[in-house]
Amino acid sequence: WDKLPVFRGHVLTTEDLIIRKHILNLMCQFKTSWDDTEGYFNEIPEIVYRLKEMENDGLLITTKNSIEVTENGKPYVRNICMAFDLRLKRKAPETELFSMTI
């Protein structure tokens, strides 16, 4: 018991890695895409559905296999990325978290 741990971190699932990729793409390039074999996971349709209101407000554009943040949406990219945070959604599915991004 007199030794310090030499490794610290979390084990990421395949889904976690895919979600991470999409969030990083949106934060850095303001767009992300997927197809049937790469970058797709089961919750994609639900995420696109949750983003419909933001799309209606002109903050992003969704297609069958991509999301692109518009110029007007760039200040809200963190809010857009929160739709991909499934752990956050599973923890408090009915809670609106707008204030957390301000």
Edge-first strand order for the sheet with 31-33 is 31-33, 66-69, 60-63
* pTM of the predicted structure, to 2 decimals: 0.77
Q: Which H or E run contains 77?
A: helix 77-82
How confident is the model at residue 92, as a pLDDT? 60
Going from N- to C-terminal start, the domains of the chain cover 14-101
**Residue 74 burial (CB count, 10 A):** 12
Summarize pLDDT for 58-84 with one digit per residue, the tens.
999 999 999 999 999 999 999 999 999
Beta carbons within 10 angstroms of residue 26's beta carbon: 22
Q: What is the structure's pLDDT at 33? A: 95
Question: What per-residue confidence (pLDDT) applies to 101?
Answer: 55
Evaluate whether 69 touches 83 at the Cβ level (below 8 Å).
no
What pLDDT sits at residue 53? 95
Give the CATH number of domain 14-101; options: 1.10.10.920, 1.10.3080.10, 3.40.30.10, 3.60.21.10.
Answer: 1.10.10.920
Segment 79-95, tens digit of pLDDT? 999 999 877 666 665 55
CA gap 34, 75 in Å, rounded = 24
